[in-house]
């Protein structure tokens, strides 16, 4: 029985996330030839080609996409196991800024697992629009910032994953979708609000902002009251809400990127462990 190397998998997953052998080497503090050798050995173990090149673009093969799913799970279990055994207690205080929609769906699961593994680490989480998180005075207050990219760029430092934007409504609202779309959105300059308006105007669809609120819980309540529809990243859609497929009335919204930044370049074991946990979990 062949065995998969965790080191090889970590390099493979990092390349898949960054789209670059060079960025992978920088992130893992290895040389690029060493990373290349690991990928060659991993391909020999699985007996498949994992990456292909189209010009300067590095993409996963079908086998690579399959292995990525397994690799994410294996690395998560490995890191959780190592957090339990043979390590000194990690402590510290981490200040983190995130978009509000991530605070309701994805982040609680990630934070729960992290705090169970590192109970001495204290987390302070602040929710705001990406533009505000990345601008002063907020930016300088955080150790980590989870932010959105209007145009996904896997080459950008900190890029984690590309996510699809989707139209979201209540199940009952679907059957009575009006010609003039009633939109529920966060205040400008919300990226989702901007994308919805741009796409609808490009396709000459009628729309109206009927309710503006910056909190995802408030947006969800408004949707359940059938005030209108909204736009969210697919991975952040709360249970109970309905994703509407693209149609002539609801054009495709395109994609966004999700990034994790360390704005102050402060390094500590606690910060690096949380960053690794978030990167691994969000990319699954």
Q: Phi then psi for 137, rounded to 5 degrees?
A: -90, -5
169 vs 237: CA distance, rounded Å: 10
78 vs 229: CA distance, rounded Å: 41
**pLDDT of amino acid 86:** 60
Between the CA of residue 35 and those of 5, 116, 160, what are the distances in Å? 13, 32, 19
Report whether pLDDT(55) > 80.
no
Q: Name the token pair of 105.
A: 């769906």
Name the domain boundary from 51, 84, 117.
84
The whole-number average pLDDT for the span 111-137 is: 88
pLDDT digit string (tens) for 114-125?
888 888 899 999
Number of domains in the chain: 3
Classified as helix, coil or strand, 51 is: strand
pLDDT digit string (tens) for 155-192?
888 888 899 999 999 877 766 678 899 999 999 889 99
User: Pick the residue with more confidence: 84 or 32?
Assistant: 32
* 98 and 173 co-located in one domain: no
Greatest CA span in the chain, whole angstroms? 62
CATH number for the domain that contains residue 11: 1.10.10.10
**pLDDT of amino acid 253:** 96
70 is a domain residue = yes
Report whether pLDDT(213) > 80.
yes
**pLDDT of amino acid 176:** 66
Q: Residue 21's domain spans which residues? A: 6-84
244 is a domain residue = yes
In the block, tokens 């105007």 appear at 201
The whole-number average pLDDT for the span 136-165 is: 90
| Average predicted confidence (pLDDT) for the chain | 89
Residue 39's pLDDT band, with cuts at 50, 70 and 90, is very high
230 vs 219: CA distance, rounded Å: 8
- Total residues belonging to the chain: 284
1 is a domain residue = no
Q: Which of 283, 49, 103, 40 is nearest to 275 (CA)?
A: 283
* 25 and 77 co-located in one domain: yes
Report whether pLDDT(79) > 90.
no
| pLDDT above 70 coverage of the chain, percent | 98
**pLDDT of amino acid 203:** 94
**pLDDT of amino acid 284:** 64
Query: What contacts 123, CB < 8 A, 6 or more positions away?
Result: 93, 94, 96, 111, 114, 115, 274
159 is a domain residue = no
* 168 and 250 co-located in one domain: yes
């Amino acid at each position: 029985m062949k065995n998969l190397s965790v080191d090889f998998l970590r390099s493979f997953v990092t390349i898949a996330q960054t789209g670059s052998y060079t960025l992978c080497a920088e992130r893992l503090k290895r040389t690029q030839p060493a990373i290349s050798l690991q990928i060659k050995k991993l391909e020999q173990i699985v007996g498949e080609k994992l990456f292909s090149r189209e010009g300067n673009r590095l993409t996963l093969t079908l086998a690579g996409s399959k292995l990525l799913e397994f690799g994410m799970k294996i690395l998560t279990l490995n890191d959780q196991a190592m957090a339990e055994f043979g390590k000194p207690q990690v402590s510290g205080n981490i200040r983190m800024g995130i978009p509000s929609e991530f605070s309701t769906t994805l982040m609680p699961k990630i934070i729960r697992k992290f705090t169970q593994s590192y109970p001495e680490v204290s987390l302070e989480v602040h929710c705001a629009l990406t533009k505000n998180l990345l601008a002063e005075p907020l930016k300088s207050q955080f150790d980590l910032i989870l932010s959105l990219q209007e145009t996904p760029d896997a080459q950008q430092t900190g890029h984690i994953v590309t996510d699809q934007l989707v139209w979201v409504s209540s199940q009952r609202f679907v059957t009575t979708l009006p010609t003039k779309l009633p939109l529920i959105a966060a205040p400008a300059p919300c990226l989702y609000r901007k994308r919805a308006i741009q796409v609808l105007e490009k396709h000459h669809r009628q729309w109206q902002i009927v309710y503006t609120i910056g909190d995802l819980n408030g947006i969800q309540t408004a949707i359940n009251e059938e005030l209108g529809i909204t736009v969210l990243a697919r991975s952040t859609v709360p249970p109970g809400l309905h994703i509407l497929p693209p149609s002539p009335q609801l054009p495709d919204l395109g994609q966004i990127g999700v990034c994790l930044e360390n704005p102050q370049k402060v390094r500590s074991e606690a910060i690096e462990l949380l960053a690794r946990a978030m990167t691994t979990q969000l990319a699954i």
